[in-house]
Structure 1
Amino acid sequence: MYPELGALLLRVVLGFTFFLHGLSKFQGGIGNTSGFFESMGIPGFIAYIVASIELVGGIAVIAGIGTRMISLLFVVIMAGALFVVNLSEGFLGGYELDLILLVIALYFVLNGSSWFSLDSKLSISKNQDINNSIN
């Protein structure tokens, strides 16, 4: 029970954090974010993709929908943020948040989280449908 409670707390915090980061990219003007990406040598359209993944993916992870797949996307985003943007700034005040979010997302890629997730509810009903059709 306690490991799943811990995973639930991590999942909600991870999803909420990414949701707020995506929301801030849109509220602050996605064009500004696109310009920042271009100043780092990243094509500007990637900002729209990243912001959308963070916003929609954050909500999905909170709800427990596609947690492993979305967490994999979060890992890719955070690896990019860590190596392209913040690595040169050092650990403190630089890439420590990126690293923490990357590792938490990697945890969900490897382990998933089923407690209070819609994925677990959907898989239970799929398994029941399969079992009922066999019997």
Structure 2
Amino acid sequence: MKKEVGALILRLTVGVIFFFHGLAKFQGGIENTVNMFADLGLPGVLAYVVAFVELIGGVALILGLGTRVVSLLLAVIMVVAILKVKLTNGLLGTGQAAGFELDLTLLAMSTYLIINGNTLFSVDQILSKKSNDQKAVA
């Protein structure tokens, strides 16, 4: 049970953080993110994909819906963010630019959720229970 409670804390924390990061991309003007992606040599349309995955994925994690799949998508985003944006700034940053310590932490947390999942207080748990109940009836 302790493992599930710990995973729940990780799932909710990662969900909230990514939800607000995705929301900020839209509130701050998604075109700014599109331009940043283009400056990095990435297709600008990926800014929309990333913002939606962060926003919708954050909500999905909070609800406990598709935890492993959503965590995988968010982990990929963090790997790209570290390698393409923040690696040159170092772990703690430069004073003018952020380091990759938060990205690395979110990557580790997402990786834990990929490996272990979390069904405590989740939609996945409800769906799994209904599926098992239907199999038992059949």
Cα separation, 1, equivalents of 2:60 and 2:70: 8
What's the TM-score once normalised by structure 2's chain length? 0.95
- In 1, the alpha carbon distance for the partners of 2:59 and 2:66 equals 11
> Residue 101 of structure 1: which of 106, 109, 119 is its match?
106
Identity %: 50
Per the alignment, residue 115 of structure 1 pairs with 120
Where do 4+ consecutive residues of structure 1 move more than 4 Å?
none
Amino acid at match of 2:69: M
Give 1:54's aligned amino acid.
E
Secondary structure of residue in 1 paired with 2:8: helix
Q: What corresponds to 1:32 in structure 2?
A: 32
Structure 1 residue 66 displacement after superposition: 0.4
Q: How does 1:27-106 map to 2 (within 5 A)?
A: 27-93=27-93, 94-106=99-111
Residues of 2 paired with 1:24 and 1:81: CA distance?
Answer: 16
Q: CA offset at residue 2 of structure 1?
A: 1.4
CA–CA distance in 2 between the matches of 1:70 and 1:114? Answer: 14
DSSP-derived class of the 2:92 partner? helix
Gap runs ≥5 in structure 2? 94-98
Displacement of 1:45 in angstroms is: 0.4
Q: Which runs of 5+ in 1 are unaligned?
A: none
TM-score by length of 1: 0.97
CA offsets 1:14-35 (integer angstroms, 9 cap, x no match): 0000000000000000011100
Instruction: Name the CA distance, whole Å, in 2 between partners of 1:92 and 1:28.
Output: 24
One-letter amino acid of the counterpart of residue 112, structure 2: Y
Give, in angstroms, the shift of residue 60 of structure 1: 0.3
TM-superposed deviation, 1:41:
1.0
